[in-house]
Amino acid sequence: MSVASAAARRSAAMTVWPQLEPLLPQVSKPIQYVGGELGAVVKDWDSAAVRWALMYPDAYEVGLPNQGVQILYEVLNELPDVLAERTYAVWPDLERLMRAHGVPQFTVEAHRPVGAFDLLGVSFATELGYTNLLTALDLAGIPLLAVDRTEAHPVVLAGGHAAFNPEPIADFLDAAVLGDGEEAVLEITDIVRAWKEEGRPGGRDELLLRLARTESVYVPRFYDVDYLPDGRIRRVAPNRPDVPFRVHKRTTMDLDAWPYPKKPLVPLAETVHERYAVEIFRGCTRGCRFCQAGMITRPVRERSITTVGQMVQQGLEYSGFSEVGLLSLSSADHSEIGDICSGLAERYAGTNVSLSLPSTRVDAFNIELAQELSRNGRRTGLTFAPEGGSERIRRVINKMVSEEDLIRTVVTAYTNGWRQVKLYFMCGLPTETDEDVLQIARLAHEVIKAGREATGSKDIRCTVSIGAFVPKPHTPFQWAAMERPEVIDNRLKLLKQAINADRSLGRAIGFRYHDGEPSLIEGLLSRGDRRVGAVIRKVWENGGRFDGWSEHFSFQRWVEAAAEVLPQFGVDLDWYTVREREQTEVLPWDHLDSGLDKDWLWQDWQDALAEYEQDDCRWTPCFDCGVCPSMDTEIQVGPTGRKLLPLTPVRGLRMPATSSR
Amino acid sequence: MPVAYSQGFTPHPKISYASAAPTGVASEAEYLEIGLCEEVDPAELRIALDAALSPGLDILDAVVAGPGSLADRIDASRWRIELPGVDPAVLRHAVSAFLAAPEVPVERMTKQGRRVFDARGAVVSIDVISTTEAPSEVEGVPCAILEVVVRQVTPSVRPDDVLSGLRVVADLAPPVPPRATRLAQGTLTAQGEIVDPLEADRDGAAIGER
Ligand code: B12
Ligand code: SF4
């Protein structure tokens, strides 16, 4: 028998497929567990030097389209001696069967047990995935607590936006990476490869130490947290000499050099987004004070119009998708967004390719773009996010848009053929009163009145969508008190009444809202410290799963777990959520460096309270938020002055390069 | 593929599946029709489509559709159902009881809710296959194998309905989930044979190797 076939047999023996397959007819949507997507990579287990399992801790239908995971998956699999596979949260029906039949957490490509990989990288876009992490670890046979793990277990590594405060899950993690992952995963791969080649000197401890020494991989076990008698943190400090006091975020510069995903995954099962998404830039300096994403991804780095055009062309050709999403935190802000949109619209005119752009900025320019994008006649709906109902509160959150501008923009949309406009708002913002929220009703009424006048038609609608504000780490609102769910829910009730107070106008206004309760828990998790880990564990033990799904989320379960676990530390749920922090308080994430200067953040918080606005550093001088000098980065924006040239239309069949099958 | 799209605000690619296999069963004989907006060589189409699909989804053949719809040419399926852990003698007994019954009412959750319908009428033939070798991945236990020809009816009678029928008439309860594979579908002849629905369009010469 040849060596190759022996190896193939051994890796074939590793698959859990024979045990998993008979369970699949008994669960809902079994296709999400079978893999085999276009773009999926299956490599030989034995010839890989470093093996990554990448997880998005939510259901396949949400996790598969995730850009972060797709990018890292491709970057890693491009290395010949590295293997990366994906795993997602399994639904409770399959979890039950897996436990009954002893089937471990598996990857979807080759159905390998997650516990056999060198690393388990988990992408947290939101904190609501924490309980799903515990399910995956437990199903994988990986001890929940990092201290109980041995060399036989994967290094459990968190990334994504929520990893900017991983303290609530610190006990369950071996490491966390702050910021962009492209270069980080390559560096981590090199460290793991070298350590394995050297015969794993010093065991797991040495490996984690090597990772920590990069100063951009956070290893929670190397830091001790001391508390004051009143429950606040006294200090967080390294417990060994050779690890850094602060861990810094990673920033991928020159997005043109990282044109991923090139080979997007095309799911067989239905997912939340079936489109080719391309990030047109990263970072945002609009400076909305509630927005963690904008704060932690600075500075702005644009991808050039030429690269965007090329990525779209190749991505569509590879995948066969017929929708393109131009992604970023505020897509209309790209220096060449007009040329990108018209260039792409021109290129794909007469085909079934449609373009979409998550537009949030409220101005006439956005309507022009939207018109460009809906050339084929589809004007389904436009979304704007004024976020705050009154001009006063919009100054507090630094979302600079006047009421006249807002109404003018929406009316322009109506007169240009849109019948439906969605307006996004937040409730429970710092300094907010009932009156600020009631202004939303007035605004919506004005919008409908003006719209009816301008179009002479009663057939126009607007939807008010409103959710509760959650203060996030590394933002000026990190010190703010949350509003209690009762207050939020009452304000939403008042708002609904005010909208419907005028029957004629109220009929044209839809009202969608999220209850205050889930947001309070999100608040606990986002600004929590290591003591919150015990709450997460308790909730999970009591059956908590899929907390991002209203049908699975149980507020009661979280409240009870918090009441059971937190008093031993002298704190409680309120302490974490509705309490305002002082300037001198040590925050749980102070040792994690997003580049933002804490003094600048505090000043911005004071400016918020004084209703003083802050401009954008792309168009006004640098206002010293701290990121660029401390991270050694700079703003990268166009314009390049280039245009997208027409494509030669591809006709007929596209034959595979090698028709081996 | 230069696939054709429907008209309207939300154009859909013109693809229609004729009597697709239910979730959780294997199949070696699925058929679909694709509307194209350009003429292509069916052999090349087969290769291109096969290359784009997941491993395990293999395109075996493509022909230019003649007149009439594909659905009209499919009125029956042949299934093989493997029952690991079931003694062939026990299965034979259950099958005789099934055949002897004029009607076998079974229950299933459908999109419209719980429905009761007859599983017997649509079954053209049902045989216990005698085989000396156990199917793959079955070790150490007996494994009975059924071959069933089922007519296309509404609501459709699926392999699990036939198994439910065997439970109804003879209390047959397989210890592990049985595995069903569709072996063929097509036009049912008077002799109970199933004719490949693409046969008529093939002009005698096979396009694409099988
Ligand atoms: C598309 C999108 C969605 C889609 C698709 C989600 C998906 N499957 O990916 C949908 C509509 C489903 C969605 C839903 C939600 N979203 Co969303 N979404 C976005 C959006 C617009 C783009 C995300 C993206 O693709 N970014 C680009 C990728 C490349 O970045 P990335 O994922 O962060 O990955 C990089 C790094 O973080 C890192 N990395 C990531 N994972 C890992 C793992 C490891 C191990 C390592 C080392 C590194 C690493 O490397 C990557 C490459 O550099 C962002 C805004 C934005 N532009 O980021 C909001 C955003 C991420 N969403 C957000 C929120 C709040 C939500 C919801 C909770 C909303 C809600 N209330 O329901 C849900 C949660 C869904 C869920 N359960 O996860 C917030 C996150 C808030 C925060 N942390 O501050 C954002 C930032 C928007 C915002 N400004 O508020 N969202
Ligand atoms: S350091 Fe200056 S230029 Fe850089 S993101 Fe902050 S404000 Fe903008």
- How many CB pairs lie under 8 A apart between chains A and B? 57
Does any domain span residue A548?
A: no
Which positions in chain B touch A22 (Cβ < 8 Å)? 176-177, 179
List of residues 6+ apart from A456 with CB closer than 8 A: none
A370 C-beta closer than 6 A to ligand 1: no
Examine residue B155 and say whether the peptide bond preceding it is cis (omega within 30 degrees of 0). yes
Task: State how far the Cα of A387 lies from the Cα of A360, in Å rounded to an integer.
Answer: 10
Q: Is A327 in the pocket of ligand 2 (CB under 6 A)?
A: no
Among protein residues, the one whose CA lies closest to atom 24 of ligand 1: A67
Q: How far is A651 from chain B (nearest CA, A)?
A: 7
Residues A65 and A168 both lie in one domain: yes
> Are A42 and A138 in a shared domain?
yes
Q: Which residue has the higher pLDDT, B176 or A359?
A: B176
Q: Are B67 and B81 members of one domain?
A: no
Task: Name the closest-CA residue to atom 3, ligand 2.
Answer: A622
Low-confidence winner among A374-383, A596-605, B103-112 (lowest mean pLDDT): A374-383
Please report the pLDDT score of residue B138 as a whole number: 63
Confidence of residue B66 (pLDDT cuts 50, 70, 90): confident
Judged against a pLDDT cut of 50, whether residue A9 lies above it is answered with: no
| Interface contact flag, A31 B23, Cβ < 8 Å | yes
Task: Tell me, yes or no, whether A231 and A284 share the same domain.
Answer: no
Distance A360 CA to ligand 2 centre (A): 22
Number of domains making up chain B: 2
Q: Is residue B37 part of a domain?
A: yes
- Residues A199, A118 share a domain: yes
What CATH number should be reported for the domain holding residue A610? 3.30.750.210
Domain end call among A197, A217, A240: A240
Q: Is residue B8 part of a domain?
A: no
* Chain B residues 41-60 with CB within 8 Å of chain A: 41, 44-45, 47-48, 50-58
Specify if B6 maps to a domain.
no
Q: Do A38 and B54 touch (CB under 8 A)?
A: yes
Å between A650 CA and nearest CA of chain B: 9
Is the Cβ pair A656, B48 closer than 8 Å?
yes
* Domain, as residue range, for B170: 73-188
Mean pLDDT of A446-467: 94
Q: Does the pLDDT value for residue A2 go beyond 50?
A: no
Closest residue by Cα to residue A472 from A161, A217, A248? A161
- Does the pLDDT value for residue A476 go beyond 80? yes
| Position A138 in a domain | yes
Our answer on whether the CB atom of A55 is closer than 6 Å to any ligand 1 atom is no
Tell me which of A71-75, A512-516, B58-62 is least confident: A512-516
Residues B146 and B60 in one domain: no
Whether residues B55 and B158 share a domain: the answer is no
Whether residue A24 lies within 8 A of chain B, CB to CB, comes out as: yes
**Inter-chain contact B177–A22, Cβ cutoff 8 Å?**
yes
Chain B: give the shortest CA distance to residue A529, in Å: 44
Asked if residue B29 and residue B108 are part of one domain, the reply reads: no
Work out the pLDDT band at A562, boundaries 50, 70, 90: very high
**Which pLDDT score, from 0 to 100, does residue A19 have?**
93
Residue B88 has pLDDT above 60, yes or no: yes
Q: What is the A333 CA–ligand 2 centroid distance (Å)?
A: 16
- As a whole number, the mean pLDDT across chain A is 93
Give a yes or no: residue B3 inside a domain: no
How much is the pLDDT for A155?
98
Q: What percent of chain A has pLDDT over 70?
A: 96
- Do residues A289 and A342 both lie within one domain? yes
Enumerate the residues of chain B whose CB falls inside 8 A of the CB of residue A30: 23-24
Pair A225, A296 in one domain: no
| Candidate from A599-608, B127-136, B149-158 with smallest mean pLDDT | B127-136
Range A298-316 average pLDDT: 97
Minimal CA separation from A361 to chain B, in Å: 27
For residue A517, what pLDDT is reported?
A: 93
To the nearest whole angstrom, how far is the Cα of A185 from the nearest Cα of chain B?
Answer: 28
B52 plus B88 within the same structural domain: no
CA of A624 to the centre of ligand 2 (A): 6
Structural domain includes residue B7:
no
Tell me, rounded to whole angstroms, the distance of Cα A657 from its chain centroid.
Answer: 36
Establish whether residue A522 lines the binding site of ligand 1, counting it when its CB lies within 6 angstroms of any ligand atom.
no
- State in Å: Cα A398 to ligand 1 middle: 22
Cβ(A161) to ligand 1 under 6 A? yes
A303 and A210 assigned to the same domain: no
Q: Which of residues 131-160 of B touch A (CB under 8 A)?
A: 137
Looking at residues B7-23, what average pLDDT do you find? 84
A298 vs A659, higher pLDDT: A298
Residues B67 and B95 in one domain: no
Q: Is A245 exposed, middle or buried (0-12, 13-18, 19+ CB in 10 A)?
A: exposed
- Asked if A441 and A500 count as a contact pair (C-beta separation under 8 A), the reply is no
Q: Is the pLDDT of residue A217 over 90?
A: yes
At A204 the pLDDT is 97
Cβ distance of B47 and A656 shorter than 8 Å: yes
> Edge to edge, what strands does the sheet with A509-513 contain?
A382-387, A420-427, A461-468, A509-513
Three-class SS of residue A87? strand
Q: Is residue B48 domain-shared with residue B141, that is, in the same domain?
A: no
Q: Domain count of chain A?
A: 2
Q: Residue A603 belongs to what H/E stretch?
A: helix A598-609
Residue A402 CA to residue B207 CA, distance in Å, equals: 67
Q: Provide, rounded to the nearest whole percent, the portion of chain A with pLDDT above 90.
A: 85
At residue B209, the pLDDT reads 37
More confident site: B203 or A4: B203
A636-657 pLDDT, tens digit per residue, is 999 999 999 988 776 678 887 7
Pocket test for ligand 2, best of A475, A603, A625, A630 (most atoms within 8 A of CB): A625
Domain check: are B119 and B41 in the same one? no
Q: Identify whether A524 is part of a domain.
A: no
The C-alpha atoms of residue A89 and residue A129 are separated, in whole angstroms, by 9
Ligand closest to the CA atom of residue A286? 2
- Report which ligand 1 atom has the smallest distance to the Cα of A252: 53
Is residue B150 domain-shared with residue B178, that is, in the same domain?
Answer: yes
A306 and A210 in one domain?
no
Which residues 260-279 of chain A have a CB within 8 Å of chain B? 268
Is residue A661 over pLDDT 70?
no
What is the average pLDDT across A222-242?
Answer: 97
pLDDT of residue A7: 45
The domain that contains B166 carries what CATH number? 3.30.70
Do B160 and B199 fall within a single domain?
Answer: no
B35 touches chain A (CB under 8 A): no
Q: Which residue from A38, A268, A653 is facing B44, i.e. has the nearest CB?
A: A653
Instruction: State both tokens at B74.
Output: 């499919």
CA A54 – CA A64 distance, rounded (Å): 11
Smallest CA separation from ligand 2 atom 5, residue: A299
Choosing from A240, A264, A290, the residue where a domain stops is A240
- Give the pLDDT of residue B136: 64
Q: Which two tokens stand for residue B20?
A: 């697709």
- Return the percent helix, strand and coil in chain A, to nearest 5: 45, 15, 45
pLDDT mean over A526-537: 98
CATH classification of the domain holding A16: 3.40.50.280
d(CA A421, CA A360): 12
User: Cβ of A589: how many Cβ atoms within 10 Å?
Assistant: 21
Nearest to B9 among A36, A377, A653 (CB): A377
Please name the residue ranges forming H helices in A227-280: none
The contacts of residue A495 (CB under 8 Å, 6+ apart) are A427, A437, A438, A440, A441, A464, A466, A511
Regarding whether B92 and B68 lie in a shared domain, the answer is no
Mind listing the pLDDT tens digit for each residue in A364-379? 677 788 877 776 556 6
pLDDT confidence of B177, banded at 50, 70, 90? confident
Structure confidence at residue A3 (pLDDT): 43
CB–CB contact A655 B177 (8 Å) = no
Closest residue to B50, CB basis, from A30, A35, A661:
A661
- pLDDT range class, residue A53, cuts 50, 70, 90: very high
Whether residue A368 lies inside any domain: the answer is yes
Q: Where are the beta strands (DSSP E) in A21-132?
A: 50-56, 82-88, 119-123
User: Parallel, antiparallel, or unpaired for β A155-159 and A354-356?
Assistant: unpaired
* CB contact burial A294-321 (16+ within 10 A = b; e otherwise): bbbbbbbbbbbbbbbbbbbbbbbebbeb
Q: Is the pLDDT score of A140 beyond 70?
A: yes
Nearest to B2 among A18, A652, A661 (CB): A652
Distance from CA of A377 to the nearest CA of B (A): 7
% of chain B beyond a pLDDT of 70:
92
| Strands lying side by side in the sheet with A155-159 | A82-88, A50-56, A119-123, A155-159, A175-177, A217-218
Same domain, B65 and B77: no
Chain B residues close to A17, C-beta within 8 Å: none
Q: Which one of A30, A40, A655 has the shortest CB-CB distance to B23?
A: A30
* Mean pLDDT to the nearest integer, A476-482: 98
pLDDT higher for B200 or B184? Answer: B184
Buried b (16+ CB within 10 A) or exposed e, A451-488: bbeebeeeebbbbbebbbbbbbbbbbbbbbbbbebebb
A221 and A280 belong to one structural domain: no
Structural domain ending residue among the three candidates A190, A220, A240 = A240
Q: Judge if A40 and A159 occupy the same domain.
A: yes
In a domain, A467, yes or no: no
Can you give the pLDDT at residue A1?
38
A616 pocket-lining for ligand 2 (C-beta < 6 Å): no
Is the pLDDT at B70 greater than 50? The verdict is yes
Chain B hits for A320, Cβ within 8 Å: 52
pLDDT of residue B210: 36
ipTM reported for the complex, 2 dp: 0.82
Please state the rounded mean pLDDT for residues A210-220: 98
B4 in a structural domain: no
What's the first-to-final CA gap in chain B, in angstroms? 21
If pLDDT is split at 50, 70 and 90, which confidence band does A380 have?
low
Under the banding of pLDDT at 50, 70 and 90, the label for residue A615 is very high
| Same domain assignment for residues A131 and A13 | yes
Rounded to an integer, what distance in angstroms lies between the CA atom of residue A29 and that of residue B71? 26
Q: What is the mean pLDDT of residues A171-194?
A: 98
- A658 part of a folded domain: yes
Residue A332 lies in a domain: yes
Does one domain contain both A142 and A22? yes
Smallest Cβ–Cβ distance between A653 and the set B10, B25, B45 belongs to B45
CA A536 to ligand 1 center in whole angstroms: 21
In a domain, B44, yes or no: yes
Query: Per-residue pLDDT tens for B41-57?
Result: 999 999 999 988 888 89
Overall pTM > 0.90: yes
Instruction: Extract the tokens encoding A651.
Output: 């006709």
Q: Which atom of ligand 2 is nearest to the CA of A298?
A: 5
Q: Inter-chain contact B24–A25, Cβ cutoff 8 Å? A: yes
- Residue at A325 is within a domain: yes
Least confident of A108-112, A216-220, B67-71: B67-71
CB-ligand 1 contact for A279 (6 Å cutoff)? yes
Mean of pLDDT values over A387-398: 96
Ligand closest to the CA atom of residue A356: 1
**Bridging pattern class, strands B143-151 and B179-188:** unpaired
**Is residue B9 one of the residues assigned to a domain?**
no
Does any CB of chain B come closer than 8 Å to the CB of residue A350?
Answer: no
Q: What range does the domain containing A196 cover?
A: 3-240
